[in-house]
Chain A
């Protein structure tokens, strides 16, 4: 009887431990613990193009959200420090063929606010949920125009959130609203978590890379792609700056 009790206690412990380990593995698949980091800046040379203003007169609710400066298109955002924002930087090749990463449980949020997408460029893993949120309360449609992924087109005429996911890697899937022709967003869909988007200071960081030699590609909606090769041996941080030139 006693033996049975201790055996079952051990069994319960093993099961609980296993589940806990499993959960840990499941919730933290993003990167190799303590792997290498690739960081850098996206530089921009040449004349900074002027972005046209967006006329939101037909959508007073959106127009009212711009109290300080009128809204402009976001095709090219050059930061004050001369770097380029909204560049999708990712590991294009170099991962072992056997590398597998499950999609994280958390969702990526794509918000429609002020008749613009936030974020304008984002990364998401294959199978990961994208929460498409309408914060404007007016009609938006969200059309995804993937080639490897099935294109879809859904309507959100009110404050609501829809969930969708992409099933195939694709850099990038264009998203657009046809009610507001200026609304564009871009999703980089990858089977691994090694991606980043350059922000307001033009920098990016890809963390937790296992040792290896990688091709890093930077993608911009107007200026196309630039690549760099980086070798990671341990937990060090490597720098790879990439440069786009005005066209």
Chain B
């Protein structure tokens, strides 16, 4: 009976799918057209035979999907089941955030996307096997009670009790004790998701998306399905949804937008110079995404640091700059050495020698021109990738290996860094998968030839670089940003306060004169 009901359910779904996707059972014509689309747009990464081994595959981590096993991360079906056509269409339409897979909706026509979906199913015999059940899970509706503190507290309880921290870490940054041992089904190293960057979740970052991933698991990865817990009544559906709400709450409300200019407010009191000074709480944060360094050898295709949060303040004599970024380990960490080795073996190396596993430290660099571009120079800035031999950039650097001291120097391209005698003060904290580093330096210094002289009210070009040692990053293998701007707010000039008073006095005075004259005239007329 149960089976009959299930079968009936399956039929309903199939009929529904047929209605949505008329080509659910692909005709030869669909797959022929799909093959052409595939070979033009997909094979470069996924390979001619669908094995996820196209020419570009070796430069990616995570690797492109291997279609031959029909194992898919993002599904609406139970772990072990094939995805529905709608699941496949979603991955094609929206792409997989945080990976190299782009969204194809708008780039390919509806028919092209449908045809290519029909074609990629032909890479595996599982889709032709009629004994396979494909049946979306029943996802209940979201519970009431909102997503306030009580809901999140409950979610956090389940985060602890069902062992999420084993891989995702105590604070959810993918730094749990099992994280350095993780591999996907093909044996490639895989990162436990950083739950603070939900805009990079492969299957979407909403509470509903997260809840679905908890129910289905991400097949082919170490992330399991938690549906058995609900079936056996160890957890209720509502409790699992509370967990999803908690996970969602770890990320910002909206995907951070990239703004070009960092505004550094001028503080009247003492500057926050330690990473955890409460003074930082009220200072605006700016997000700058980073990309792999792919211009000079040795190129780096798998940057581990997705981006950096930047805050800046000054007090007319000193500037303090706080950088915060997620990093799964406090490198060098021997527990991560085998993982480092696996990453370096997996990601394509264009250098003549194969890199060793380290131990490499974590590093950050902040870059400025030596002088603020002005006048005839316009906005001409040095080359963004650490300047050039004849046109160096001024950099602040910090590495986890030197006990937290900062360094400054002139970079003349990525190969050459000439250390300067004076360095900014640097203080760092590593806290559950996040580095927080504060640089402080006087706005003005004696070495005006090499060191940038900070001035208020002028846009100062700034750029960022990050290295995660445990992901094998060192030297030219790093994450880079483009040029942005830093603007130190000017002290408010006295005229800002005086002008309104003068204006008010003038207005009042003139008004009084007008009234006076009118009254005099009125009095004169009455007398006359």
Contact = CB atoms under 8 A, between A and B. Distances in A.
Interface stretch (B178-186, B193-201, B246-254): B178-186
A152 B234 CA distance: 20
A157 interface: yes
Contacts of A179: 163, 166-167, 178
Interface in B27-58: none
Interface in A113-143: 138-139, 141-143
A151 B69 contact: yes
Contacts of B146: none
A162 B228 CA distance: 7
Given A151-B219, A153-B217, A154-B228, A180 B163 contact: no
Interface string B161-172: 111001100000
B79 interface: yes
B81 interface: yes
Give the contact-size bracket for chain A: 20 to 34
Interface string B208-248: 00000000011111111111110010100000000000000
Interface in B133-157: none
A150 interface: yes
Contact of A178 (B82, B178, B226, B228): B178
A82 B258 CA distance: 66
Contacts of B182: 178
A160 B228 contact: yes
A215 interface: no
A243 interface: no
Is the contact region of chain B dominated by helix, strand, or loop, or is it mixed? loop
Contacts of B132: 150
Contacts, number: 83
A154 B69 CA distance: 19
A155 B225 contact: yes
A53 interface: no
Interface in B69-116: 69, 71, 78-82
A150 B81 contact: yes
A158 interface: yes
A145 B166 contact: no
A225 to B, nearest CB: 21
Contacts of B383: none
A180 B181 CA distance: 8
Contacts of A152: 78-80, 219, 225
A133 B186 CA distance: 26
B131 interface: yes
Nearest to A156: B228
B172 to A, nearest CB: 16
B123 interface: no
A167 interface: yes
Contact of A155 (B69, B81, B126, B226): B226
B212 to A, nearest CB: 15
A70 B375 CA distance: 73
A143 B228 contact: no
B178 A181 contact: yes
B166 A155 contact: no
B177 interface: yes
Contact of B79 (A145, A153, A181): A153
Contacts of B234: 157-158, 160
B178 A153 contact: no
Contact of A180 (B79, B161, B178, B228): B178
Interface string A30-74: 000000000000000000000000000010000000000000000
A91 to B, nearest CB: 24
Nearest to B177: A58
A28 interface: no
A178 B187 CA distance: 12
20 contacts: A138-B163, A141-B222, A144-B80, A150-B81, A151-B80, A153-B79, A153-B217, A153-B224, A153-B225, A154-B227, A155-B217, A155-B224, A156-B228, A157-B162, A157-B163, A178-B182, A178-B224, A179-B167, A180-B178, A181-B178
Interface of B: 69, 71, 78-82, 126, 131-132, 161-163, 166-167, 177-178, 181-183, 185, 217-229, 232, 234
Given A153-B80, A153-B217, A181-B178, 12 more contacts: A58-B177, A142-B224, A150-B82, A152-B219, A153-B225, A154-B225, A160-B228, A178-B178, A178-B181, A178-B183, A179-B167, A179-B178
